[in-house]
């Protein structure tokens, strides 16, 4: 999917950098956290209850806010689930861990397909402002159904390029954001990475964008993870894209 826009650019980042396109990580566009956390609770609580009964230990339920933010928010599902369970002194074989992650994904997609997702209003305002200036936009997600999730949120048509886990470079779905993922999006936009900004909500996404040599990397901190975003190379870091300052710089 590719649209033709006027040749425009904006000044974005700290220090300000001239960019002609902006790539958004999906978590910077739509609010997946509530549905994702509920999906994890629906899967982990029955498992934890069963494990406690078998091993004659106390059942401690999954805490939607504390456990999700600490172990799972913005992280690959297998890695996050492994670290959460390790915090409860539980170690599972890979196949069992993968089964929990797949069950969570099925529940999450079922909820998205029934009820949709809410896009962040401030992100939509930024995208529309970029479009008025002729700046192209893309969305990227490691989720296999990332494009569908954006459609369900009613925002897929706002992007010139959408690339998800099924469309990502390579023959297997990557576990972590990596530089090649963002570089492939830049190629589809037809722009060198130095002319492209990346807006990400995860430290891993920020690090990958920095490794790819992108012109500006903005971190969106909605969970108190600003220090990790900065440590991985985000500048600036904002708590909401309404705080992001940029100005038009139309090419001649």
- Domain of 149, CATH number, reads 3.40.50.1000
In this structure, are 59 and 123 located in the same domain? no
List the domain range (segments joined by +) for residue 55: 33-115
How is residue 43 written in tokens?
A: 């899967």
Q: Which residue carries 């023959």 as its tokens?
A: 171
Whole-model pTM: value is 0.87
Asked if residue 1 is part of any domain, the answer here is: no
Torsion of CA 93, 95, 97, 98, to 10 degrees: 160
In this structure, are 23 and 138 located in the same domain? yes
Asked if residue 194 is part of any domain, the answer here is: yes
How is residue 92 written in tokens?
A: 């599972």
> Among residues 115, 143, 176, which one ends one of the domains?
115
Give the Å distances, CA to CA, from 35 to 62, 75, 115, 202: 14, 15, 10, 17
Tell me how many domains the chain contains. Answer: 2
Instruction: Report how many helices (DSSP H) and strands (DSSP E) the chain contains, helices first.
Output: 9, 9
In this structure, are 158 and 243 located in the same domain? yes
In this structure, are 98 and 138 located in the same domain? no
pLDDT tens, residue by residue, 102-125: 999 999 999 999 998 999 999 999
Average pLDDT along the chain, 252 residues, taken 10 residues at a time? 63 83 94 92 97 95 92 85 96 95 94 92 95 94 89 94 75 67 93 95 92 94 88 92 82 42
How is residue 118 written in tokens?
A: 């809410």
Mention every residue, 6+ apart, whose C-beta is less than 8 A from residue 16.
246, 247
């Amino acid at each position: 999917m590719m649209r033709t826009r006027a040749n425009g650019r904006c000044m974005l980042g700290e220090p300000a950098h001239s960019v002609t396109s902006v790539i958004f990580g999906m978590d910077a566009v739509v609010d997946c956290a509530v549905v994702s956390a509920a999906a994890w609770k629906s899967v982990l609580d029955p498992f934890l209850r069963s494990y406690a009964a078998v091993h004659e230990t106390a059942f401690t339920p999954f805490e939607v806010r504390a456990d999700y933010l600490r172990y799972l928010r913005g992280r690959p599902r297998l890695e996050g689930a492994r670290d959460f369970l390790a915090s409860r002194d539980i170690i599972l074989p890979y196949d069992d861990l993968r089964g929990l992650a797949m069950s969570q994904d099925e529940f999450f997609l079922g909820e998205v397909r029934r009820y949709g997702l809410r896009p962040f209003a401030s992100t939509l305002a930024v995208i529309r402002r970029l479009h008025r200036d002729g700046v192209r936009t893309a969305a990227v997600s490691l989720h296999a159904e990332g494009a569908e999730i954006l459609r369900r949120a009613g925002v897929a048509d706002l992007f010139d390029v959408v690339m998800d886990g099924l469309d990502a470079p390579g023959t297997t779905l990557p576990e972590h954001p990596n530089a090649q993922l963002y570089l492939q999006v830049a190629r589809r936009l037809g722009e060198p990475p130095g002319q492209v900004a990346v807006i990400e909500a995860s430290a891993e996404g920020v690090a990958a964008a920095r490794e790819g040599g992108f012109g500006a990397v903005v971190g969106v901190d909605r969970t108190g993870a600003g220090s990790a975003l900065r440590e991985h190379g985000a500048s600036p870091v904002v708590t909401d894209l309404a705080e992001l300052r940029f100005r038009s710089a139309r090419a001649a």
